[in-house]
Amino acid sequence: MAEVPMSGKHGRSSRIAGTLRLRRVSRPLPGVSSPSGLAPEKEQARAASPTAGQTAPDGAEGVRLSKLMAGRGLCSRREADELIERGWVLVDGQRVSELGTRVAPDAHVVLAPEARRRQGGKMTVLLHKPVGYVSGQPEPGYRPAVTLIRADTQFGDSGARRFHPGMLRGLAPAGRLDIDSTGLLVLTQDGRIARQLIGGDGAIEKEYLVRVEGRLRENGLALLNHGLELDGRELRPARVEWINRDQLRFVLREGRKRQIRRMCELVGLRVTGLKRVRIGRVSLGDLPVGQWRFLDEGEHFS
């Protein structure tokens, strides 16, 4: 290692300082941070990494790649981590395979062909849930709705798409429907669809037919449309109208627990029957109670 000779009264000290400067450039001392804030060995690994060009600009923390992918609707965060680990995500044209990678918020992110093929094979089904089945975890005395997804309950002619037990892996409800309610329930393996339907941005409408009894309080219909609160929080505007003397149509953009029943109680009504008939652009149609079908390729919720 060459030393830099320095003149002056403190020549010896200057030589040491000069030596340290050269040594720090060629081989950083243990524990000395690099300008990026990373340990020197990690900084060198990052510089040699093919994903080095995908980090956020200087002075910016950036955003976790998995969070960015979920926010853009490419997949769920859990699936994003799986795809990143497999190297099936491209950022600004380069494959990324390191979990926890941070990128600029405006980075160009696309899925590799392998990931798109995998997503294309994920199953989404529409079930006409009967009363007495829970949409999520089983409860004492009740069965989960997913137990109705069987070969003998498949509706219509789906051509080559016939049920087999392997399809149940990873199949989960995208949203809930109360035990004592019936109608359209979506179950999916696709994180993109789950996020679209469960997300709280209110982009997807849900339509219900609701049978009621009781005496509607004055201005009650206007309040059902907008002006009620649940648990101290104001409800989003809804569209509520009478269909006949004992039945209402509700169109909501949110899904609080037992929301419609509680709304009706606040205006003097009691729900005696509730059926969900539409989620976004997908309708229940003539699907019989207790049967299911695949979501067709041309069907989309938004």
Q: Which string of b and e fits 23-57 if b means at least 16 CB within 10 Å?
A: eeeeebeeeeeeeeeeebeebeeeeebebeebbee
Listed residue (210, 142, 206, 141) closest to 176, CA to CA = 206
Residues in the chain: 302
> How would you label 149-165 residue by residue, b for 16+ Cβ within 10 Å and e otherwise?
beeebbbeeeeeeebee
DSSP string, 240-269: EEEEETTEEEEEES---TTHHHHHHHHTTE
Residue with tokens 């999520």: 136
Give how far the C-alpha of residue 208 lies from the chain's centroid of Cα atoms, to the nearest Å. Answer: 24
Catalytic site includes residue 92: no
The three-state DSSP-derived secondary structure of 40-66 is: HHHHHHHHHCCCHHHCCCCCCCCEEHH
Q: From the candidates 58, 81, 106, 178, which is the catalytic residue?
A: 178
- Choose among 296, 280, 92, 260: nearest CA to 181: 260
Token code pair at residue 171: 């199949």
Helix (H, G, I), strand (E, B) or coil at 25: helix
DSSP string covering 166-214: GGGTT-EESS---TT-EEEEEEES-HHHHHHHH-TT--S-EEEEEEEEE
Give the Cα separation of 224 and 74 in Å (integer): 35
Question: Pick from 80, 88, 85: which is nearest to 64 by CA?
Answer: 80
d(CA 158, CA 140): 34
Query: Which residues belong to the active site?
Result: 178
